[in-house]
Amino acid sequence: MITQLYTMQTVIEALACADAGADHVGTTPPHGGLPGEVPVRLAAEIARAVAGRAKAVVLTVWTDPVAIAELVDATRPAILHLCPPAHLTSPAQVERIRLRLPGVPVMQAISVTGPESVAEARAYAEVADYLILDTQAPGIGGVGASGATHDWGVSREIVRSVRVPVILAGGLSPENVAEAVRAVRPWGVDSLTWTNRALPGGGFRKDLDRVRAFIAAARGALGDDPDLRADPD
């Protein structure tokens, strides 16, 4: 079971999450108000620092292929996470972005709303290397970071319907991730909100105790199944 943790705001924090067992560590370069944004320079430093320990994932809500390519060139992530608001990027556009960035796997976010999300996921699975199933919330300029769950039955149907690795996100915590894994059977799970600790005056950092608990619960949910541990890269 692959675990992905967002959002790293210091090199020390990213290394600590990797040492705790996170397989993917995500950063959010500036996009205009997303949670935990960090400068592009710092996102690049984090990607270099975790190389060999975890895969660095860089998130963007942009849709312009040129701007996205510049971001990837500046940060050098192991994986590019595309999560603009639902329906702003078509599968054809994702394919063009992917072709522009040879050697950089693309993770496409799917906003899980209802049964219609299954067909959408199938279409994006034809052009993306990974899917991440998440929950879109009003007031956040992209798919994710809502801290809310969605219908895991729909997510399970998506997992059954596609051949690319699927990461389940959206409101996952140490308390519910095992249940989510058993219900959905994803390739991996992702956490942002519910593995954070609030800072005085605002902001957050990762709560390493909750990070460790999240990873342990996710990996223990289905036992030692090699099919759920294999990394396609």
pLDDT at residue 89, rounded to an integer: 87
Quick: pLDDT tens for 190-223.
999 999 999 998 889 999 999 999 999 999 998 7
pLDDT at residue 150, rounded to an integer: 87
The yes-or-no verdict on residue 146 having pLDDT over 80 is no
Query: Minimal CA–CA distance to 176: which of 207, 209, 150, 141?
Result: 150
pLDDT at residue 32, rounded to an integer: 67
Per-residue confidence band for 142, with pLDDT thresholds at 50, 70 and 90: low
What angle in degrees, to the nearest 10, is found between the helix axes of 91-100 and 116-125?
A: 30
Q: pTM for the complete prediction?
A: 0.92
Across 168-182, average pLDDT: 96
CA-CA-CA-CA torsion for 150, 202, 31, 151, nearest 10 degrees? 0
pLDDT at residue 230, rounded to an integer: 43
Quick: pLDDT tens for 64-114.
999 999 999 999 999 999 998 777 889 999 999 999 999 999 999 999 989
pLDDT at residue 136, rounded to an integer: 76
Please give the single-letter amino acid code of residue 70: E
Per-residue confidence band for 231, with pLDDT thresholds at 50, 70 and 90: very low
CA dist., res. 63 & res. 61, Å (int): 7
The yes-or-no verdict on residue 176 having pLDDT over 80 is yes
| Chain centre distance of CA 102 | 20
The answer to whether the bond into 27 is cis (omega within 30° of 0) is no
Distances (CA, A) of 153 to 38, 135, 141, 185, 194: 34, 14, 25, 11, 21
Tokens 């998130």 -> residue? 59
pLDDT at residue 138, rounded to an integer: 67
Mark out the alpha helices in 63-107 (DSSP H runs): 65-75, 91-100
The yes-or-no verdict on residue 229 having pLDDT over 90 is no
Q: Answer whether CATH 3.20.20.70 is correct for domain 2-228.
A: yes
The yes-or-no verdict on residue 171 having pLDDT over 80 is yes
